[in-house]
């Protein structure tokens, strides 16, 4: 099998992911990875990253999905698309802080990346803590933030 076969399979997975067919997309991403492995090559980091996104969206295996995305980012730390995927998986896992960090890191690499900008905008902007001399996580700031309107 050629790399073209793996790439074609990966692209089919992207199309299925965008169509909201998460399980089918996951199967395509996994197939692309296996094609590369059968050729004796490590799979492309973007294959692994999108496998992680598909896994997070199609199943409850969020820890495994995050590991896949983190491994992809470690292999290509300069690729903002992989950081976007890591952020997406972190959001699905409920880790907003890690997602925000991934998005911001990606924007430092490519300031005009539309997907990263949209993801940050979707997260929203946090108001400053009510009492600036206390940490945001301090119980007094948390209570005041919940009960006092902006």
pLDDT tens, the chain, 150 aa long: 455 999 999 999 999 999 999 999 999 999 999 999 999 999 999 999 999 999 999 999 999 999 999 999 999 999 999 999 999 999 999 999 999 999 999 999 999 999 999 999 999 877 788 888 999 889 998 888 888 866
3-state secondary structure of 24: helix
Query: Rounded to whole angstroms, how far apart are CA atoms 40 and 51?
Result: 19
Query: Rounded to whole angstroms, how far apart are CA atoms 44 and 41?
Result: 9
Quick one: pLDDT at residue 22?
96
Quick one: pLDDT at residue 146?
83
Global pTM reads 0.84
Query: Rounded to whole angstroms, how far apart are CA atoms 44 and 35?
Result: 11
Quick one: pLDDT at residue 1?
46
Query: Rounded to whole angstroms, how far apart are CA atoms 67 and 145?
Result: 33
Query: Rounded to whole angstroms, how far apart are CA atoms 79 and 99?
Result: 16
Provide the terminal-to-terminal Cα distance of the chain, rounded to the nearest Å: 59
For residue 55 the two structure tokens come to 């896994």
Which pairs count as long-range contacts for 121-124, CB under 8 Å and 24+ apart, including other chains? 123/91, 123/96, 123/99
Quick one: pLDDT at residue 150?
63
Domain 3-147 indexed as CATH 3.40.50.1100: no
Spatial contact of 144 and 130, defined as CB atoms under 8 Å apart: yes
Quick one: pLDDT at residue 34?
97
Quick one: pLDDT at residue 148?
81
Spatial contact of 131 and 138, defined as CB atoms under 8 Å apart: yes
């Amino acid at each position: 099998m050629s790399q073209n076969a793996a790439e074609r399979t990966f692209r089919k997975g992207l199309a299925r992911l965008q169509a909201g067919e998460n399980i089918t997309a996951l199967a395509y991403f996994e197939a692309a990875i296996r094609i590369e492995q059968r050729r004796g090559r490590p799979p492309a980091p973007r294959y692994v990253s999108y496998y992680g996104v598909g896994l997070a969206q199609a199943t409850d295996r969020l820890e495994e999905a995050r590991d896949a995305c983190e491994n992809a980012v470690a292999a290509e730390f300069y690729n903002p698309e992989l950081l976007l995927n890591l952020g997406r998986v972190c959001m699905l896992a409920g880790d907003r802080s890690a997602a925000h960090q991934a998005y911001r890191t990606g924007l430092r690499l490519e300031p005009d990346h539309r997907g990263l900008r949209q993801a940050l905008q979707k997260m929203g902007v946090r108001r400053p803590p009510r009492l600036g001399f206390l940490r945001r996580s301090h119980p007094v700031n948390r209570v005041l933030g919940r009960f006092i309107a902006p």
